[in-house]
Amino acid sequence: MDFFSNLRSGTVGFFRAYAFTRDHGMRWLFLVPIVLWLLLTFGLYALLQQPADTLSAWASEQLSIPVGTETTKWWSNVKVFLNGAREMVVAVLLKIAILYLLYIANKYLVLILLSPLLAYASERTEELITGRSFPFSWPNLLKDALRGALVAIRNGTIEIGLTILIWTTTLVMPILAPISLVLLFGISAYFYGFSMFDYIHERHRLGVSESVRAVNRRIGAVVANGALFSLLLNVPLFGVMFAPVMASVGAVLASVNGGDHRGIEPNRSHRSDKEVIAVR
């Protein structure tokens, strides 16, 4: 399949993911991310409440306007009013900043903590489509954990390196800013999609280098999956609730029969691992 055919299969797979989970009794998967997100949000906010108040008091003291006795009374009153208003503004802005940072950090914490759930969603989807089961074993779990860490380190290093390179180039030639933003989004989408497709490759015991080659053969589907995941994830609450599971399930639907799970015969357990993830 060429790039645009893969792009279509990745898009179709992502959008059909919700219907697939609904039709196969998997909608409960959407509740886990939102519950986890809420617990993390309130827990981290409560944990950071005291440091935030301390930082707010320190910032207010640093920005305070001295009120001298030598000034006229009306000017002293103005300074007192400004100090009071400043304290309130600093406290509000600081809490907004903390909430925003928590919102960003929470998305990534949720994705990290959701990894077992997303792996399950991916595996369960393939079981329903192909009829093949994947028995659990502790040795495989340990190997998968090590492999996942290696993939995360590899992808993170490459993404950070490319991001630094693009921003450095943009600082030297600001006229490239619009192109740089598109490139940065595309790189982010690629690595998001890589993570979702890698659940499939991991399950079929592909090594890291083999997974990279498999991803690059279907780069259109990978980028489509990651781009839709990234866009949906930025929708408050609903993004965290729907995007991770839809991306994980959508990657399987895109890998099997070009994203169309309708009409796939249920018992195809004799197909080889390579055939399941083959480029069509």
Q: For residue 253, which amino acid is it?
A: L
Quote the domain boundaries for residue 111: 3-276
Q: Where residue 254 falls among pLDDT bands split at 50, 70, 90?
A: very high
Using an 8 Å Cβ cutoff, are 252 and 24 in contact?
Answer: no
Q: Does residue 140 surpass a pLDDT of 90?
A: no
Residues 6+ apart with CB under 8 A from 92: none
- pLDDT tens digits for range 30-65: 998 888 878 877 776 677 667 666 766 665 565 554
Q: Where residue 15 falls among pLDDT bands split at 50, 70, 90?
A: very high
Q: Residue 272's pLDDT is what?
A: 44
Q: Where residue 267 falls among pLDDT bands split at 50, 70, 90?
A: very low
| Residue among 38, 21, 31, 91 nearest 236 (CA) | 38
Q: Where residue 196 falls among pLDDT bands split at 50, 70, 90?
A: very high
Using an 8 Å Cβ cutoff, are 134 and 127 in contact?
Answer: yes
Q: Does residue 218 surpass a pLDDT of 80?
A: yes
Q: Residue 96's pLDDT is what?
A: 66
| Count of domains forming the chain | 1
Q: DSSP string covering 247-270, please?
A: HHHHHHHHHSGGG--TT--S--TT
- pLDDT tens digits for range 62-115: 555 454 555 556 556 655 555 556 666 666 666 666 665 555 565 566 677 888
State the CB neighbour count (10 A cutoff) for residue 191: 21
